[in-house]
Amino acid sequence: MDNFNAKQMKMKYFIGLMMVLLSLTSTAQDFSSKLLKAQDLYARSQYDSAALIYQSIIDGGYQSPELYYNLGNSYFKLDEIPSAILYFEKAARLNPNDENIQHNLQLCNSMIPDRIDQLPQLFFIRWYVSLYNYFPIDTWASIIIVLMGIFSVFFLIFLLSERILLKKLGFWSAVLFLLLTMFSLFLTYQKYSSFKQHNDAIIFTPSITVKSSPTQNSVDLFVLHEGTKVTILDTVSGWKKVKIQNGSVGWIEGDKLEII
């Protein structure tokens, strides 16, 4: 009797596993068919239909720089520039060094009314930002693993070698690669934290007046237009405290923004 019950349990587990695998296969096939359909619609200049399918894929939990890039292109063809900027920015978050993404993003930004000069940065800050954006987060994680492996090799040379020259080489090389590993880990952590925070947003209203405080009757500071990127600093009662690239700060209504 016990053997019979055990067989029944094994059969249930097997059936359950098969159902999960079939579900995953069906989901993957559905994703692939939707993607191909969206690409076909885009190729036939049916950009609105392509955008709807790309959006449904994203709403289904999928994300990739290519997917966001394609949706951004669809909105660009529809002349919906704020939406195009939003999804090019999302693509750039995942793959900041892709030339096509950056080119299309710059093209869209040249089409919005606001021309905001960025605050000048010190040379070492520019160097850090350039290095920070050089690889996506998964590449930085792979670099950490490689550096840790090299550190381990040199550390073993230091521990096991009987020759003084090899011990010194192993020690100082291990120190160097340990420092590189720690720096890469710091960059990866910063990139991951920034990726999870979602502090940047795009304005989605033709024009909006930035206020000095989170109330309608406060002092008007300046006007921003749709498509402009802002950084969110704080939230109070539905209002967002934002900063633009030239360093100016003020408050706008939160429902006028779309988070990147």
Cα angle: 137, vertex 227, 224; to 5 degrees: 120
Q: Regarding predicted confidence, which is higher, 147 or 190?
A: 147
Tell whether the model's pLDDT for residue 194 goes beyond 90.
no
User: The domain at 200-259 falls in which architecture?
Assistant: Roll (2.30)
Predicted local distance difference test score (pLDDT) of residue 176: 96
Q: Return d(Cα 179, Cα 34) in angstroms, integer.
A: 46
Percent of the chain's residues with pLDDT above 70: 86
Closest CA to 260 of 224, 235, 223, 229: 229
Average confidence score pLDDT of the chain: 85
Predicted local distance difference test score (pLDDT) of residue 121: 64
Summarised one tens digit per residue, pLDDT across range 87-143 is 999 999 888 888 999 999 999 999 998 887 776 666 777 777 777 777 777 888 899
Summarised one tens digit per residue, pLDDT across range 135-172 is 777 888 899 999 999 999 999 999 988 889 999 999 99
Q: What is the pTM of this model?
A: 0.72
Predicted local distance difference test score (pLDDT) of residue 13: 52
Predicted local distance difference test score (pLDDT) of residue 249: 95
The continuous run of DSSP H or E covering 35 comes out as: helix 2-43
Q: Return d(Cα 187, Cα 168) in angstroms, integer.
A: 29
C-alpha distances in Å from residue 56, one per residue of 20, 63, 158: 22, 11, 55
Q: Return d(Cα 249, Cα 238) in angstroms, integer.
A: 17
Percent of the chain's residues with pLDDT above 90: 58
Predicted local distance difference test score (pLDDT) of residue 63: 85
Cβ–Cβ < 8 Å for 127, 183: no
Predicted local distance difference test score (pLDDT) of residue 5: 47
Average pLDDT estimate for 65-76: 95
Q: Give SS3 for 235.
A: strand
Fold annotation for 2-109:
1.25.40
Residue 247 DSSP class: S
User: What string of DSSP letters covers 199-226?
Assistant: -EEEE-SSEEEEESSSSTTS-EEEEEET
